Amino acid sequence: MSRIDLRSDTVTLPSPAMRAAMAAAPLGDDQYGEDPSVNRLQDRMAELLGKEAALFVPSGTMANQIGLQLLTRPGDEVVVGEEAHITWHEAGASAFNAGVQFTVAGKGGLFTAADFRAAWKPDGHVVQPPTKLVCIENTHNRGGGLVFPQDEIEAICAAARELGCGTYLDGARIFNTAVATGMALADLCAPFDVVGVALSKGLGCPVGSLVAGSREAMTRAVRARRRFGGAMRQSGILAAAGLHALDQGFGHLERDHANARIIASRIAQTAAAIDIATVQTNIVIFKLPAPLPDAATVVRRAAEQGVLVSAFAPRTVRATTHLDVDAAQCRRAADVLAAAIEAG
Ligand SMILES: *Cc1c(COP(=O)(O)O)cnc(C)c1O
C-alpha cells in the first residue's frame, strides 16, 4: 500500500534534479561571505521580494525569531492574529529569545487596521507594555491556508508606521499567496520592514528559509543568526536547492491548490464542518463536531489506509497538499478521510 502523506508540505523529498543541483553547487565558507551559491540565493530572493538584502537561515522559526529580535526589545508587545505560528508552533521561542508578549487581534488569523488600532498601546505608559510590532502571517496556517487580504495589510502597515510600530511578515507560504492572488511577491512584501519566507514548504526544498529587509536590518540579522547558532559554512549545498526551486518557478503550487479543493469538496459531502471559502491555497482544515469521531480516531483510521493527516486540535484535522502528491492521490485520500469520518 503506497503512503499518501498530507501531514505537512514539509514532507517533500528533493527531486533527482534538485539533488543534482545540490551536488554540483559551487561552495565556499559562508561565514567569510564566500559561498557563491548562498550569495546568489540571497541576491535573487532579495530581488524577488523587493528588499535590499536577504539572509539564508536554517528554518522558518529562526527567520521569525530574527525578525522579532530586529524589531523589538524585551518587554515590548507584538500584535498578531489568532493562532499565529510565532505564538503556537515555536516552542515558546518568542518569549525565550526576544522577551516579547503578544496581543491577539481579529478572528481566524485575520484582522483589520481597526482591530490593530484597538489593540495598540502607546509608548511611555506607566503600566501598559508598548506595542512595537505587528506580525502578519500570509498565508495563515492554522486559519486553513487563508490569504490575508492585501488591502487590509496595507492599511494595517500604514497604521503601524503612523504609530511608530515595526511590521513583520511571516511569509513561510507567501509563494502560495502569490499564486492564489496573481500578485507579485514584491508587492505582497512591500508594506513590511522585514519578511521571512520558507524554501522547505511549497517550494519542496529539504532545508532553509530566508529573512529579507533593508541592508541595515540584514547586517544586524547576520549577528542575530550567529547568536542563535544558525551561522553555517558550506551552506551553498542547501542554497542550491533553493536556486533550483526558483528556476522551476511556482506554477506547480496552482496544482497543489486545486488538489486541496478536491479534498475539501469531498469532505464537504460528509457531516464534518468545513468552510470551502477558506480553502484558498494548499491547506484543508475541517472540524469533527460530536457525535462524529474525534481527530485522533480519524487520523488513526486514515493512517490504517495509508493516508497521513494531522490532528490539529482534539476535533480538528489538517490535510496539506504539496509537490509529492498528485490529483489521483488526493482523490483517494479524500475518499479514505470521508470513510473514516462516516464510520461513526
Ligand atoms: C512552517 C512555518 C514556519 C517555519 O517553520 P520551520 O519548521 O521552523 O521552518 C513559520 N511560519 C509558518 C506560518 C509556518 O507554517
Q: What is the pLDDT along the chain (344 residues), one digit of tens a residue?
A: 689 999 999 999 999 999 999 999 999 999 999 999 999 999 999 999 999 999 999 999 999 999 999 999 999 999 999 999 999 999 999 999 999 999 999 999 999 999 999 999 999 999 999 999 999 999 999 999 999 999 999 999 999 999 999 999 999 999 999 999 999 999 999 999 999 999 999 999 999 999 999 999 999 999 999 999 999 999 999 999 999 999 999 999 999 999 999 999 999 999 999 999 999 999 999 999 999 999 999 999 999 999 999 999 999 999 999 999 999 999 999 999 999 999 97
Dihedral over Cα of 190, 191, 195, 201: its sign: negative
**Residue 238's closest CA among 42, 32, 61?**
42
Output the pLDDT for position 6. Answer: 98
pLDDT tens-digit map of 93-114? 999 999 999 999 999 999 999 9
Place of cell 507584538: 78
pTM for the full predicted model = 0.97
Quick one: which of 55, 88, 53, 27 has its CA closest to 234? 27
30: which residues sit within 8 A by CB, 6+ positions away?
Answer: 38, 56, 231, 232, 233, 234, 235, 236
What pLDDT score does 1 carry? Answer: 62
**Any ligand 1 atom below 6 A from CB of 141:** yes
> Is the CB of residue 85 below 6 angstroms from any atom belonging to ligand 1?
yes
C-alpha of residue 272 to centroid of ligand 1, in Å: 27
pLDDT tens digit sequence for 40-60: 999 999 999 999 999 999 999
Answer yes or no: is the C-beta of 59 below 6 A from any ligand 1 atom: yes
Beta bridge partner(s), residue 211: 55, 196
User: How far does CA 210 lie from the centroid of its chain?
Assistant: 12
In a 10 Å sphere around its CB, with 0-12 CB exposed, 13-18 middle and 19+ buried, how is residue 24 labelled?
Answer: exposed
60 Cα to the center of ligand 1, angstroms: 5
Domains (range + CATH), the chain: 16-248 (3.40.640.10), 252-342 (3.90.1150.10)
pLDDT tens per residue across span 265-282:
999 999 999 999 999 999
Residue in 65, 83, 85 to alter for ligand 1 test, most ligand atoms within 8 A of Cβ? 85
Instruction: Looking at the CA of residue 200, tell me the nearest atom of ligand 1.
Output: 9
Question: What number does the ligand 1 atom closest to the CA of 90 have?
Answer: 8
